[in-house]
Amino acid sequence: MAALAVLADDYDLCARDYCGRMTWRTADIPDLTGRRALVTGATSGLGYQTALELLKHGAEVLIAARNPVKAATVADELAAAGPRPEVVDLDLADLDSVEKAAKTVAENHDRLDLLVNNADVMATPYLATAQGFELQLGTNHLGHFALTARLMPLLEKAPEPRVVTVSSFMHKTVRGLDQGDFRAAKGYRKWEAYSKSKLANLLFMAELDRRAKAARSPLVSVGAHPGYASTHLQTHGPELAGNAFEARMWGGINRLVAQSAAAGAWPSLYAATLPALPSGSYVGRGFFEFRGAPKIVRPAGPARDPELARRLWAWSVEATGVDAF
């Protein structure tokens, strides 16, 4: 209930003159012919729907996923909407895999116009990445931080590059994070760790925006969150923990109150394709940020803390060994 109260306090805040139109639909996406996009986590849920709509509107799409067999099957399905997407093997929970994936993209392409940092894991039992980081922060933030940094040379070769980082309204349920959260197993709480990873996503988005502007880069860095959408994300954590009851509970809640994954992808698509969207914007939903048409919304206070964002950036460079700017 506390999270709902915070959301209600921030309801209907949006940047002047850039509020999302209540009539916005995917038909409003402009022609994307000639633009090349990479979407992480595109084998299901929001990522699949994002890749699908980008293809429908003419973009060349690369889908990055850790299961090559599933990714190949999904690429065949998506080919009905446009040119068959290129599959990039990527495990965000392994920084070596991130490095390899970025090198593969660079070997095959001269530029990248759009990067959608979509993939994540949610509310898992305590697990560690290949490099020993807590799985949720390691996958949702550090993996995407490293991927963005390693793809930055390709992004900067595009005339109007854009990075979309997908967060969640759950970032509003925590007050901050520190470097110890990257590895701490003691006192681990799965929902707190997830919320901190989503806070990290927004801090990264904002700091990337500041650094790009300082470097006079054309890069646009924006964020998005889907509201409450029905995907496998809600049940994956309980399934990993072997908690069949909790998995069934979330499945039931999804059927009762969640919007579809297709609707859940609207804010990401809006953030990825709206012409002249100001860098640093955060796109959410119109109705208490749970559902409705996309609109610019206001992140919670900790996500707007530039000093915390600078510290997180420094911690992330130390953890991953790469830097975007």
Residue 107 corresponds to which tokens in the numbers above?
A: 């070997």
Active site residue 126: no
> Whole-angstrom Cα distance, residue 238 to residue 67?
20
In terms of Cα–Cα distance, which of 66, 150, 73 is closest to 107? 150
3-state secondary structure of 36: strand
Q: Which of the 8 DSSP states describes residue 323?
A: -
Tokens representing 176 are 């901050």
The two three-digit tokens of residue 69, written as one number: 């067999």
Tally of residues, the chain = 325
Catalytic residue (choose from 48, 194, 228, 282): 194
**Residue 249 in tokens:** 């509970």
Q: Give residue 36's region: left, alpha or beta (phi > 0; psi -120 to 50).
A: beta
Rounded alpha-carbon distances, angstroms, from residue 266 to 104, 180, 236, 297: 29, 34, 22, 14
Residue with tokens 């609207």: 266
Do 223 and 169 meet the contact criterion of CB atoms below 8 Å apart?
A: no
Q: CB-based contacts of 53: which residues, under 8 Å, 6+ apart?
A: 26, 29, 265, 269
Letter string b/e over residues 128-144, b meaning 16 or more CB atoms within 10 A of that residue's CB: ebebebbbbbbbbbbbb
Q: Known catalytic residues?
A: 194
